[in-house]
Chains A and B, each alone.
Chain A
Amino acid sequence: MSAITCKELNFYYGNFHALKGVNLNVSEKRITALIGPSGCGKSTLLRVFNRMNDLIIGSRAAGDVKIFGEQILGDGVELTGLRKRVGMVFQRPNPFPLSVFENVAYGPRIHGLKRGGGLERTVRECLESVGLWNDLKDHLKENALSLSGEQQQRLCIARTVATRPDILLMDEPCSALDPQATARIEELMQDLKSNYTILIVTHNMQQAARVSDDCGFMLMGELVEFGDTNRIFTAPADKRTEDYITGRYG
């Protein structure tokens, strides 16, 4: 089933036409990567799916975007519910300056879960699912900012999955991490794939090749080519895709 379907999506920042007629189908419980040079619109596209672009003054989306069959563009959409279902992991590890526990508990708390009502269990499960529980179970009260960069990013992923989303949007989640940490986060993504549909934006082509099942190449606001990752990297149909993955620009 398609987790995200996107038809003739156009997006504008004021007069700037940032996304041009994007058509896209993101399959459920797979990892889909969006690649392309800086400014091609891949982050903008990602942020359409949880309506984070709404926070930017003068931005406007037109077209048809459905998450599991539900239209998410337009005024009537309840953004809090949408964002609970479509979680986001940001480029820089950005835990709140709170304890490890409170970081993970943040989402469940705003959606009404209380201590004693399963909050402790949720926090534990989420920390387990990102491989932090064993390291941090005795440090739940410690400030999250005292963790390493990789641990912080894992914690941010735990914080995101704590609202029980269906889809995880990841905006260059490893760009602030070293290669070893990157490799381990990529492993984690493979583990998470069985429960979540993951859409990752990356400017690192090797990462896209390693981690994703499907891959889309974007250039100047257009989705140039989309398909199976192996096919895109071995037999790109479009000359521009080929030029990009062979390193001719970008």
Chain B
Amino acid sequence: MSRISPKITEKIAKLFLWSAAIFTIGALIFVISFVLAGGLKHISWAFLTQPILDMGREGGILPAIVGTIFMVFVAIGIAAPLGVASAIYLAEYTREGKVTQAIRFGINCLAGVPSIIFGLFGFILFVVMLGFGWSILSGGLSLSAMILPTVIRTAEEALRAVPASYRDVAASLGATRWQVVTRSVLPYALPGILTGVILGIGRSIEETAVVIFTAGSAVQMPTSLFDSSRTMAVHFYILAREGISNDMAYATAAVLIITILVINVSAYTMMHRLTKGRRA
């Protein structure tokens, strides 16, 4: 049997890789345009600014938008500092050993836990035991537990990607460990850390299971962190699942997708400005 010539193998490989990339991007574009095509025509100023009426058949989605923003703020406000601090500890303040391996194993396990388990965990801990009830606070706390592994892992990778020579030089100039971290490591790891935070924001926005379990699905406008509220994702889920209104469901999904796009684009632009002249 004759061997296939390397030239032909090369061509086949190229074709295969190219189609894989095209297929991936195509699927993404298809989903986005499908949702936008179904939803954009129902989006109006009123839709964005009116309360939810008749379980979502009428009115708008303002309470869901507000609920989403509040919950994501709580989730990121807790997960980002906690996650980055854990990553700094793992990458900069401790040496590789049994303890770090155990911590890292735990983080990886957590990253693989289905979100509904975090919902159950949040329900038991925050809603029942701590008595926060179905609320934005419970929802945000549960979401922060869910995204914490992602934030820690990406932040740790970003920290480890900073050249060792920056640390050596800073230390050789008499910098303390904290000065080394804050002046010579964090600024260069920031883009990677922000990527993790953005991923976390995205996952919080699109999450339904955790939010239904821990924040409930109230349609009223939330006025405090202890109010129950629904996020856009939950609103969409209920509208579609209970057959309340397909048009409203599509419109909500469209707003959801646009929100995520806007957050991504603005976060990366901000990051680009922030790190200008600091990139190695």
Give me the interface of A with B, judged by CB distance under 8 Å.
50, 52, 55, 57, 79-84, 87-88, 90, 92, 94, 96-99, 106-107, 109-111, 143, 145, 156, 159-160, 163
Contact = CB atoms under 8 A, between A and B. Distances in A.
Contacts of B58: none
A158 to B, nearest CB: 12
B277 A57 contact: no
Nearest to A47: B172
A166 to B, nearest CB: 13
A90 B172 CA distance: 10
Max chain A C-beta neighbours (<10 A), residue from B172, B183, B279 = B172
Contacts of A159: 169, 173
A98 B170 contact: no
Contact of B277 (A94, A99, A111, A160): A99
B169 A55 contact: no
B165 interface: yes
Interface stretch (B174-182, B202-210, B216-224, B234-242): B174-182
A70 to B, nearest CB: 15
A103 to B, nearest CB: 10
A55 B173 contact: no
B174 A163 contact: yes
Contact of B165 (A94, A143, A145): A94
B280 A97 contact: yes
A106 B182 CA distance: 12
Contacts, number: 66
Given A98-B278, A110-B179, A110-B183, A83 B174 contact: yes
Nearest to A91: B165
Contact of A111 (B167, B170, B174): B174
Nearest to B277: A143
Nearest to A81: B174
9 contacts: A81-B174, A83-B173, A83-B174, A87-B172, A90-B169, A97-B188, A97-B277, A98-B278, A110-B179
B103 interface: no
B184 interface: yes
Interface in B254-280: 277-280
What's the dominant secondary structure at chain B's contact region?
helix
A106 B166 CA distance: 12
A82 B188 CA distance: 27
B7 interface: no
Kindly list the 4 A-B residue pairs having the minimum CB-CB distance in the complex, ordered from nearest.
A84-B174, A83-B174, A107-B173, A88-B172
Nearest to A99: B277
A97 B172 contact: no
Given A97-B279, A97-B280, A160 B165 contact: no
A143 B276 CA distance: 11
B95 A52 contact: no
Contacts of A81: 174
Given A90-B165, A96-B166, A160 B173 contact: yes
A79 B278 CA distance: 28
Contacts of B166: 94, 96
Interface hub of B95, B169, B183, B278 (most chain A Cβ within 10 A):
B169
Interface string B143-180: 00000000000000000000001111111111110010
A83 B170 CA distance: 10
A92 B95 CA distance: 26
Nearest to A52: B172
A52 B168 contact: yes
Given A57-B95, A106-B183, A143-B277, A96 B169 contact: yes
Contacts of B176: 80, 110
Given A57-B95, A143-B277, A87 B169 contact: no
Given A52-B168, A52-B172, A97-B279, 18 more contacts: A55-B167, A55-B171, A79-B174, A81-B174, A87-B172, A90-B165, A90-B168, A90-B169, A94-B165, A97-B278, A98-B277, A98-B278, A106-B183, A107-B173, A110-B176, A143-B277, A160-B172, A163-B174
Contacts of A156: 169
A109 B173 CA distance: 10
Contact of A107 (B167, B174, B188): B174
Given A97-B278, A98-B278, A145-B280, A110 B173 contact: yes
Contact of A87 (B170, B173, B184): B173
B183 to A, nearest CB: 7
A90 B179 CA distance: 20
Contacts of B183: 106, 109-110
A5 B187 CA distance: 39
Contacts of A111: 174
